[in-house]
Structure formats: C-alpha cells, structure tokens
Amino acid sequence: MTVAHRAVVRWQRATADFDAQTFDRSHTIDYDGGERVRASSAPEHGGDASAVDPEQGLVGALASCHMLTFLTIAALKRLVIDAYEDDASAETGRNADGRMMVTRVTLRPRVRFAPGHEPDAARLAALHDKAHANCFIANSLRSAVAIEPR
C-alpha cells in the first residue's frame, strides 16, 4: 500500500537584496493535519536558532518513528509501557564525496514499563533492534543510527 505524506514548505524573500550569505532562511512547513512549524537553517548556516532546522526535523522524525514502532511491538507482545522519552541527537559531517550530510544519529530512549512488565536487558535490546529494523524513517536513511537505551 502506498500512502502519500505531504508537507507544504513556504518561503518568501523579505529583503531588497538576495545574497547567499545573508538572505533570511526562515520559512514555514505546513503538515496535513494542520500543524504549522516555524523552520530555518541551523544557526551555523545563517539560520534562526529559535526555529526548527532540517537536521532537527530529521532527528525528531527518526526518534518519533522508532518510538512508535517500539510501542507497537511492545503492545503486540503484551508489554505495558507507562512512559517513553528519547534524548536523540545528530552529527553532521562530510561523506566520502566531500558533501555535507547527517553522518550519525544517536537515539537514547528511556522506557518505563508498568510494574511486572519490565523485560531483561537482552529482551529490551531485542525490542529496540526490531523497532529499528521496522522503522520507516530508519529504513530510508544512509546515516549510521545508534540506539543507546538509558
């Protein structure tokens, strides 16, 4: 089954000049459900630090996908989860061709299971491995993804 997922990105020049070093990188992203996100490039690339940059968006999408896949797998295995938190991060660098890319994403999920549902460390790692293997976003990336449960 193919499902279309949409995001409408809008930017408009707000200055008289259009210089590669100084143009305003602020824009909006509208998602299907009506959510609007203020976005910009990362501050080190001339962007607005108070807005979401594409690298943060990628990290958030991957962490969210991993969590939702993990929760589904746990629910199917009748493991009750009370809370899930992930302090995810990404590193940028250059690939073998010298092009900038997100080189590594690290997910640091902390899962709180309901009393009596706590898996041992090996089973928890297996759950995360299965979630990673079945996450749509992870399967779409070339970057290394590390999962470090906390």
Share of the chain above pLDDT 90, in %: 87
- At residue 14, does pLDDT exceed 90? no
Q: What are phi and psi of 125, to 5 degrees?
A: -60, -40
Maximal CA-CA distance, the chain: 64
26: Cβ contacts below 8 Å, ≥ 6 apart:
11, 38, 39, 40, 47, 48, 51
Most confidently modeled range among 32-36, 105-109, 139-143: 105-109
Arithmetic mean of pLDDT, 74-86: 97
Q: What pLDDT score does 47 carry?
A: 93
Strand order in the sheet with 7-10: 7-10, 27-31, 36-39
Q: What pLDDT score does 150 carry?
A: 86
pTM, full prediction? 0.91
Q: Are 86 and 67 in contact (CB under 8 A)?
A: yes
